[in-house]
Amino acid sequence: MNATIVDVLIENIKTDQSLLEQTEAQIETAKENKKNVVDRLKDYRRDITVLLKYADDEQRKRIEELGFDFSESERGLNPVASLVMDIIMKAKDNQLTNEQLYEAYVKSFKNKGDAFNYTEFNIKCRSLFNTQRLLRKKGTDPKSSRDDIVSLNGRVLPKEDDTATSKVENAKKSNSNAKKPAHEK
């Protein structure tokens, strides 16, 4: 049987349609594989941002060679997180409820409309908890974050005031005088 040009064209179309289906299936599999790898890399990035403070200089260098850039986390915070850190540092015992923290944040604006809403505010502050600069203790209402206690991780060293400094200096002087012979005093 002699195949006509139309028969050849029909066979070519069938073959290419079959190849297209196989290729699309391979593409979908590759997309899924890519998504899985990207998700793992995101998880690694989150792990590294938390654990970076334990890395020595050599490990930091190797991490940066892998393409992870932590200059922003090293350099500073987003403006909302930076403001929140200032508010917490000035708060009594360096802690507030999440609602008090948000209210203090809003009060820092002349035009209250410039402040983010409560949800966006919490999203902007998330880096403070991820890097463990701040800690969150769940409040009494499990469905709301407003009464959660937000506190500074670690303690703030008290600033030496002039009276404490002068007491230390006076103690040093009296100790040095006590060691001198009586005729030198």
Reported as a single tens digit per residue, the pLDDT across 123-170 is 989 888 888 888 999 988 888 899 899 998 876 555 544 444 445 455
Provide the total of helices (H) and of strands (E) in the chain, helices listed first.
7, 3
Report field, pTM of the whole predicted structure over 0.95? no
Please, is 125 exposed, middle or buried when counting C-beta atoms within 10 Å of its C-beta (0-12, 13-18, 19+)? buried
Distance of CA 35 to the CA centre of its chain: 23
Give pLDDT, residue 98.
Answer: 92
Q: What angle do CA 151, 155, 160 make, to 5 degrees?
A: 130
Give pLDDT, residue 182.
Answer: 53
In a domain? residue 85: yes
In a domain? residue 111: yes
Same-domain status, 18 and 58: yes
Give pLDDT, residue 73.
Answer: 46
Could you give the CA distance from residue 174 to residue 171 in angstroms, rounded to a whole number? Answer: 5
Reported as a single tens digit per residue, the pLDDT across 4-58 is 999 999 999 999 999 999 999 999 999 999 999 989 988 887 788 777 777 788 8
Which residues, 6 or more positions from 116, have their beta carbon under 8 angstroms from its beta carbon? 80, 124
Give pLDDT, residue 111.
Answer: 87
Which structural domain range is residue 27 located in? 5-65
Evaluate if residue 110 carries a pLDDT over 70.
yes
The residue ranges of DSSP E strands in 15-131, in sequence order, are: 95-97
Same-domain status, 52 and 102: no
Q: What is the number of structural domains in the chain?
A: 2
Same-domain status, 85 and 61: no
Beta strands 149-152; 134-137: pairing state? antiparallel
Same-domain status, 118 and 139: yes
Which residues, 6 or more positions from 94, have their beta carbon under 8 angstroms from its beta carbon? 88, 151, 152, 155, 156
Could you give the CA distance from residue 154 to residue 157 in angstroms, rounded to a whole number? Answer: 10
User: Considering the chain, what is the average pLDDT of its residues?
Assistant: 80
Residue 6, token pair as written in the block: 């139309």
